[in-house]
Amino acid sequence: MPRRSSKLSDRSNRHDRAYRQAKNEGYAGRAIYKLQEIDKKYRLLRRGSRVLDLGCWPGSWMQYTVTRIGDEGYLLGIDLNEVEIPLPANVETIVGDVDDWQPPLDNPFDVVLSDMAPHTTGDRHTDQFRSEELVRRALAIAQRALRPGGHFVAKIFQGGEFPAILRELRGTFQEGRAYHAKNTRSSSIEQYLIGRGLKTRITE
């Protein structure tokens, strides 16, 4: 089963500048700087927002999000692995599989985040396909979990289905685009999909 999270302890990350910076600043992972960069550019997170974080382990995106939504906001994270870092009282985490989990329909979210990634196999096409499937699942959850006008961010390893997924994103949101974060290695096929303004929420 693919992993729904990034991993700070990966060997490829251990001597990375962003890794060292995250460790020195007390963050659970280097990915915090990517979300920070995206949020500063697109202004997705606001004080009082309700946020859903898919693939939330080890918790760096949650650490950033709570600084933006404040005590008035609410943050729910879900991952196959338990988040072990301390988080404030307005944050909840669920250990579970996003393929089986269904979002509550009675209290929609303002933002859905997904930093989910598969366990890499070394086969580029397999890894891209698994990443694209995770993004499609995240997008399906977002259509049910978000309020109309809500926003979406998801990591993707760009592969053959990327154009089709980008079209799906643009059909779902008023604004949809791909973004290559500056904190991403230049050799990486990693992109982030940004959806702003959900057009229609699925409630069935």
Q: 20 vs 24, 25, 38, 201, CA distance in Å?
A: 6, 9, 20, 40
The per-residue pLDDT for range 88-142, each reduced to its tens digit, is 999 999 999 999 999 988 999 999 999 999 988 889 899 999 999 999 999 999 9
Is position 4 within any domain? Answer: no
- For residue 9, what pLDDT band results from cuts at 50, 70 and 90? very low
Q: Which sign does the torsion angle of CA 168, 63, 83, 21 carry? A: positive
Q: In whole angstroms, how large is the CA radius of gyration of the chain?
A: 16
Distance CA 56, CA 132 (A): 18
pLDDT at 83: 95
Number of folded domains that form the chain: 1
- In the set 7, 155, 182, 199, the catalytic residue is 155
Which structural domain range is residue 54 located in?
A: 11-198
According to DSSP, the β-strands at 173-179 and 50-54 are: unpaired
The tokens of 175 are what? Answer: 């604004």
- Can you give the CATH number for the domain in which 63 is found? 3.40.50.150
Is position 6 within any domain? Answer: no
* Residue 40 main-chain phi, psi, to 5 deg: -65, -35
Concerning whether 155 is annotated as a catalytic residue, the answer is yes
pLDDT at 44: 97
pLDDT at 28: 55
Instruction: Give the percent of the chain with pLDDT over 90.
Output: 75
The per-residue pLDDT for range 153-169, each reduced to its tens digit, is 999 999 999 999 999 99
Is position 162 within any domain? Answer: yes
Mean of the pLDDT values across residues 13-40?
73
Report the range of poorest mean pLDDT among 8-12, 27-31, 85-89. Answer: 8-12
The tokens of 5 are what? Answer: 């999270």
Residue 86, preceding peptide bond in cis (omega within 30° of 0): no
The per-residue pLDDT for range 44-97, each reduced to its tens digit, is 999 999 999 999 999 999 999 999 999 999 999 999 999 999 999 999 999 999
Q: What is the largest CA-CA distance in the chain?
A: 47
Mean of the pLDDT values across residues 18-36?
72
Distance CA 61, CA 56 (A): 7
Is position 69 within any domain? Answer: yes
